[in-house]
């Protein structure tokens, strides 16, 4: 019996590799030694993308970059041959704010560390860079990314601007004379499911700014500052910079999606598709008897292209039945069936207290894994098999 275990993280509880390990331990306990559990941690392009890359043969690299408020932080990225995977939250994430989301942080947080991570990957010879966005602290339209790659932002007096979206209101010129020329010869992929434009009622400041501490007045001023940045960038590099502001995904990660499209010429792709590609999940499904996937909460958001759905679609294309595990599920039996799941097992089936599920997710996952293992052993012994 060969089982592929391809879960996402259980947010706030366990990383994807930990989820896979606990499930594998339970499966072995329930089925016995006649089972092979192939662990393939996956993600949807946000937090956990580096773990998925490491689990697929990439090498973890660590460098010191500028954090969202200017402090030095150590950030990981992943490299395999000439390909790098960067998780921008590692350098510019909301979780790095010492006091959490505040109005001041919403205005001053920068994405410069993400640009520095890109430069570190270029220094290692990488010429394809996957940029996983999500969980960012900044609303700076990716201006910090350009700064991290050598661009200098100046006000009308020739003074260099500080980081953050609010400062862009004073932008007069952008000096690209020391910009990293290697960017031009590098392929960038923007791994993001966000389809918001940069500006306006559905733009980055309006939709995501409040999550980062922005007040209604902050949202108004940030939107105006980012609009001014677009005008200056377009005057410097060409009108394509204005068109890019309206592109789907430009509003991702406080506007880092915008600069990825406008300046890095990135191709935007759904995060789960990018991750499943570099983990080579489809190839590794060949000959499998079962796939187990899942995430912390299986809900309506999951159906919009999150990890379990991506894994389920890949499994169905290869004729392999899928079981989902989760902390909890709010989906109906019909929704789960339509999503391609043979069965769904939730930690709340074993423990009704959600806080205990979060705190004791590892042992509970092993119980679920053991239950699945026993079920599979019984079906195998009776020569019964799951129907695809």
Alpha-carbon distance 45 to 28, whole Å? 30
Q: How many CB atoms lie within 10 A of CB 178?
A: 10
Q: Where are the alpha helices (DSSP H) in the chain?
A: 16-31, 49-54, 89-92, 103-108, 112-123, 143-148, 204-208, 216-237, 240-245, 256-262, 271-278, 281-284, 307-317, 333-338, 354-359, 361-381
User: What's the pLDDT at 385?
Assistant: 54
Instruction: Write phi, then psi, for 90 (nearest 5 degrees).
Output: -65, -25
At the topology level of CATH, where does 2-42+280-381 sit? Answer: Rossmann fold (3.40.50)
- For the chain, the structural domain boundaries read 2-42+280-381, 49-272
User: What secondary structure does DSSP assign to 201-220, as a single string?
Assistant: TTSHHHHHGGGGT--HHHHH
User: What's the pLDDT at 388?
Assistant: 37
User: What's the pLDDT at 302?
Assistant: 85
User: What's the pLDDT at 384?
Assistant: 61
CATH level 2 (architecture), domain 49-272: Alpha-Beta Complex (3.90)
User: What's the pLDDT at 208?
Assistant: 96
User: What's the pLDDT at 381?
Assistant: 72
Q: Which pTM does this prediction carry?
A: 0.89
The torsion angle over the Cα atoms of residues 367, 368, 369 and 373, rounded to 10 degrees, is 100
Residues paired with 326 in a beta bridge: 295, 346
Burial of 328 (0-12, 13-18, 19+ CB in 10 A): middle
Q: Is the Cα torsion angle 26, 29, 30, 35 positive or negative in sign?
A: positive
Residue ranges in the chain whose pLDDT is less than 50: 387-388
């Amino acid at each position: 019996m060969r089982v592929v275990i391809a879960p996402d993280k259980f947010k706030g509880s366990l990383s994807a590799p930990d989820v896979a390990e606990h499930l594998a331990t339970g499966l072995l306990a329930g089925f016995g030694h006649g089972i092979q559990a192939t662990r393939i941690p996956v993600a949807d392009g946000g937090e956990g993308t580096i773990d998925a890359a490491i689990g697929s043969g990439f090498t973890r690299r660590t460098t010191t970059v500028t954090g969202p408020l200017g402090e030095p932080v150590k950030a990981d990225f992943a490299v395999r041959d000439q390909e790098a995977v960067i998780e921008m939250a590692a350098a510019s994430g909301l979780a790095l704010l010492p006091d959490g989301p505040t109005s001041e942080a919403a205005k001053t947080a920068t994405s410069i560390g993400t640009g520095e991570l890109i430069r570190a990957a270029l220094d290692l010879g990488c010429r394809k860079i996957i940029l996983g966005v999500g969980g960012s602290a900044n609303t700076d339209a990716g201006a910090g990314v350009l700064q991290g790659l050598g661009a200098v932002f100046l006000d009308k007096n020739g003074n260099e601007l500080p980081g953050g979206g609010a400062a862009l209101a004073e932008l007069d010129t952008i000096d690209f004379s020391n910009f990293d020329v290697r960017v031009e010869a590098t392929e960038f992929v923007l791994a993001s499911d966000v389809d918001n434009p940069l500006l306006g009622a559905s733009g980055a400041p309006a939709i995501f700014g409040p999550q980062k501490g922005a007040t209604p007045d902050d949202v108004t001023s940030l939107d105006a500052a980012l609009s001014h940045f677009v005008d200056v960038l377009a005057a410097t590099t060409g009108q394509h910079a204005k068109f890019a502001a309206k592109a789907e995904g430009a509003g991702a990660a406080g506007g880092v999606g915008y600069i990825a499209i406008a300046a890095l010429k990135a191709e935007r792709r759904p995060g789960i598709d990018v991750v499943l590609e570099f983990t080579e999940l489809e190839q590794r499904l060949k000959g499998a008897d079962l796939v187990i996937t899942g995430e912390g909460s299986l809900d309506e958001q999951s159906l919009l292209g999150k990890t379990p759905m991506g894994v389920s679609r890949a499994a169905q294309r290869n004729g392999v039945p899928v079981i989902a595990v989760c902390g909890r599920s709010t989906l109906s039996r019909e929704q789960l069936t339509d999503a391609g799941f043979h069965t769904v097992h939730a930690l709340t089936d074993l423990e009704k207290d959600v806080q205990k599920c979060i705190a004791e997710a590892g042992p509970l996952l092993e119980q679920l894994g053991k239950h699945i293992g026993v079920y599979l052993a019984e079906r195998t012994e009776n020569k019964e098999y799951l129907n695809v």
